[in-house]
Structure 1
Amino acid sequence: MDYAALTRVMRKLALDAGDKIMEIYAADDFDVRAKGDDSPVTAADEAADAIISAGLRDAFPTVPLVAEEQAASHELTAKTFLIVDPLDGTKEFIKRRGDFTVNIAYVVEGEAVRGVVYAPAKERLFYTDQNGQSVEEVGPFAKDEIGQTQPISVSHPDNEALLVVASKSHRDEATDDYISKYAAANMKSAGSSLKFCLVATGEADIYPRLGRTMEWDTAAGHAVLHGAGGKVVRFDDHTPLTYGKAGFENPFFIAFAPGVNLEKA
């Protein structure tokens, strides 16, 4: 893989998809339908998926592609592939809360090695550069030219005063019970893969997820966090979270800055 080309392509496609998402977001109304698993889908999900999938297939025709909105791709069995969630945080989009992202990632032998997370409503753009270092680009963003970037890195956590981030739409008692095991100085909620990025930038130290997620929900954020020095492990045994699992469903997990003393499940 040409990682310089991959970075350019993923970044541009995320921005293109973000523009289309924001165009629909600005409309007075938009259709919301239920998929087979009862999760919501909108025209924005589908339009963004069309943009990203066409661009990735054109640029990398031999690399398998897994996309949330393409059910046939969920039958793929591979350890190296591109994976896309064109609109992560559809519930946040529908409620017009702004915490939604475009996620594109590249997985190699089960590891999320490169990714881009773009939050168009918040004008925040995070991605791994050609060397695997994670950066945040400062807007306004030009489609065909990478602008000013700044490397991001995880915090040096204080276990007596941790910064915790958790899901905005999927918070539950089990999550709160687990968080209560830590000495938290601050607690914030965020939607979509932004939670990974908040850990990657040092704005949070730990993000536990005790709920159902799919690999397209996490791969891009995982890659960004990894490129910033962070880790993502399974909740049950603290082994690394891997990709290419049957059905692309994740176990519960914890994303964190090294130095956090993880509590047992």
Structure 2
Amino acid sequence: MDYQKLTEVMRRLSIEAGAVIMKIYEADDFEVKVKSDSSPVTEADEAADALISAGLRAAFPEITLVTEEQAASHLQMADRFLIVDPLDGTKEFVNRRGDFTVNIAYVETGVPTRGVVYAPARGRMFFTLADGTAVEETGALDPAMMGDVTPIRVGTPDNAALMVVASKSHRDQATDDYISKYAVRDMTSAGSSLKFCLVATGEADLYPRVGRTMEWDTAAGHAVLRGAGGDVVRFDDHSPLTYGKEGYANPFFIAYAPGVELKKP
């Protein structure tokens, strides 16, 4: 894989998809449909998916592409693949809360090694460079030219006063029960894969997810967090969270900065 090309293409497509999404988001109204799993899907999901899929297939025709909005792609299995959630956080989008993201990632032998997470309504863009390290790009985002990027790095946790981030739309008692095992200084909530990025920048130390997710929900954020020195493990036994699983469904997991003393369920 040409990682420099991959970085440029993923970044460009995420910005272009973000522009399409925001045009629909800022309209007076948009159509919301319900998928077979009862989750919502909008015309923004579909338009962003079409743009990203076409761009990735043109740039990397030899690489398997898995995307949330194309059910047939969920039957494919490969050691190396691109995986896309064109609009992660559709509930946040529908409710106009802003915490939705464009997620594109590249997985190699079970590990998401490169990725981009773009939150167009928040103006925040996180991605991995060709060498795998993670950065945040600020300022006006030009799809044709990378602007100012700042390396990001996980913080140094204080286990007597941890900062925890949890889901905005999927918070439940099981999550709260697990968080209660830690000494928490403060908590914040965020939608979509932004939670991984808050750990990656040191704005949070710990993100436990006790709930259903799919690999396209997490791969890009996981890649960014890895590039910033963090990690993601299974909730049950703290073994690595791997990708390319049959059906692309995840177990519960914990994203964290090294130094957090992880608690058992």
Report the TM-score when normalising by structure 1.
Answer: 1.00
Corresponding position of 2:75: 75
Following superposition, the deviation at residue 80 of structure 1 comes to 1.0
- Whole-Å separation in 2 of the counterparts to 1:143 and 1:156: 33
- Whole-Å separation in 2 of the counterparts to 1:204 and 1:139: 23
Corresponding position of 2:116: 116
Following superposition, the deviation at residue 15 of structure 1 comes to 0.1
Corresponding position of 1:238: 238
Question: Percent sequence identity over matched residues?
Answer: 71
Structure 2 unpaired stretches of 5+: none
Structure 1 unpaired stretches of 5+: none
- Whole-Å separation in 2 of the counterparts to 1:221 and 1:228: 11
Determine if contact 1:79/1:243 at 8 Å carries over to the other structure: no
Determine if contact 1:33/1:41 at 8 Å carries over to the other structure: yes
- Whole-Å separation in 2 of the counterparts to 1:15 and 1:3: 18
Q: How does 1:242-253 map to 2 (within 5 A)?
A: 242-253=242-253
How many residue pairs match? The answer is 265
The 3-state SS of whatever aligns with 1:198 is helix
Corresponding position of 2:262: 262
Following superposition, the deviation at residue 128 of structure 1 comes to 0.1
Following superposition, the deviation at residue 79 of structure 1 comes to 2.3
Corresponding position of 1:91: 91
Corresponding position of 1:207: 207
- Whole-Å separation in 2 of the counterparts to 1:4 and 1:80: 17
Q: Deviations over 1:172-214 (max 9, x none)?
A: 0000000000000010100000000000000000000000000
- Whole-Å separation in 1 of the counterparts to 2:177 and 2:133: 34
Q: Deviations over 1:102-149 (max 9, x none)?
A: 000000011000000000000000000010000000121111110010
The 3-state SS of whatever aligns with 1:20 is helix
Report the TM-score when normalising by structure 2.
Answer: 1.00
Following superposition, the deviation at residue 78 of structure 1 comes to 1.5
- Whole-Å separation in 1 of the counterparts to 2:143 and 2:38: 35
Deviates more, 1:74-83 or 1:55-64: 74-83
Task: Could you list the structure 1 runs, at least 4 aligned residues long, displaced by more than 6 angstroms after superposition.
Answer: none
The 3-state SS of whatever aligns with 2:247 is helix
